Amino acid sequence: MEGLQPSENVNTNSSTLPPAIRGSCSKQNRRSCSNKRVAFCNISPKKTMPEAMSDHEGRGCRSECYVCCACTCLAVFIVLVIAVILGLVSISFLRSTVPRITVNALSFPRLEISSSAGQKLFTADVNMSFEVTNKKDKVVLYIRPLTVDISSEKVNIGRAKTQGFSLITGKSSTMNAYSSVVKKKVDLSNTEQLEANIRDKQVVVDIELHGDMKINYGWLTINGLPMTIKCKGIWPAVFQSGDAPKCDVKLFSLE
């Protein structure tokens, strides 16, 4: 036993291997390295923590913006719908407050056309009487002085002014107006039919009144409501049968 010498360490260095084995190992190592490099290159790089947080915050911000825009549009739509409903209710209420107006009397104490120096001169006295009724419950009407225009066959035969007055619910009031025109020049082309109507006592007139009124409904007061009253095709003979032609009353010029 003592004579045996310990065996020498086995050298596994590739330089001591035979060439064939050494070449085989080198090729395997290169293929393995190549495969590792390819696999490493194909892996997409991971995002850093700040980049990931930035993307998350961006998506969250966009979502909040969409929600905010949707809520704003919905709120605006609701406000517009409420405004339209309130406007319609207000207009309906105001229309219901207009008084009922009828023509009770119309007369011409004087009505004539004369000629002078090739011109037509018109003279007319017109008496008018209207009945105004407040038909709206719990509403007090204040009718301001109204301007009255009278025309016949496109000829303006007079202008008058009424007195202002107030009306409580269910009450009526008489509104009188008087117009006088003396030797007013008129267009020759419009006087022929009017002269014939005067001779036949068949004068038909259109009466239009303009002004404003105030309404008082409990604690609510609305002032300066423009009012237009049109009474079309009125002639004195209609009152002999006891009829009282009704006038068309409108608020606002666009109604």
What average pLDDT does the structure give for the chain? 78
Of 44-48, 146-150, 247-251, least confident by mean pLDDT is 44-48
Whether the Cβ atoms of residue 144 and residue 130 lie closer than 8 Å to each other: no
- The reported pLDDT for the residue numbered 48 is 53
Higher-confidence position of 53 and 215? 215
Q: Provide the percentage of residues in the chain whose pLDDT is more than 90.
A: 34
DSSP3 helix / strand / coil % (the chain, rounded to 5): 35, 40, 25
pLDDT above 90 (res 65): no
Separation CA 116–CA 182 (nearest Å) = 13
> Of all residues in the chain, what percent carry a pLDDT higher than 70?
73
66: its two tokens: 């969409």
DSSP one-letter code for 109 = E
pLDDT of 252 > 90? The answer is: no
DSSP letter (8 states) at residue 246: B
pLDDT band at 41 (very low <50, low <70, confident <90, very high): very low
Average pLDDT over residues 11-40: 46
Q: What is the pLDDT of residues 170-190, one digit of tens each?
A: 889 999 999 998 888 877 676
Does position 24 have pLDDT exceeding 70, yes or no? Answer: no
Q: What would the DSSP string read from start to end of 51-71?
A: HHHHHHHHHHHHHHHHHHHHH
Q: Is 29 or 121 the better-scoring residue by pLDDT?
A: 121
pLDDT digits (tens, 9 = 90+) for 1-10: 444 444 444 4
**pLDDT at residue 40 is higher than 80:** no
For residue 78, is pLDDT > 90? Answer: yes
Instruction: Compare 28 and 191 and report the one with higher pLDDT.
Output: 191
Contact 214, 96 (CB under 8 A): no
Identity at 2, one-letter amino acid code: E
**Separation CA 223–CA 214 (nearest Å):** 4
More confident position, 139 or 242: 139
pLDDT single digits (tens) 90-108:
888 888 889 999 999 999 8
Q: Average the pLDDT over 75-81 and give the result.
A: 93
Task: Inform me whether the pLDDT recorded for 15 exceeds 60.
Answer: no
Q: How confident is the model over 108-162, as pLDDT tens digits?
A: 898 888 887 778 888 889 999 999 999 888 899 999 999 999 998 888 888 999 9
Answer yes or no: is pLDDT of 201 > 90. Answer: no
Cα separation, 56 vs 58, whole angstroms: 5
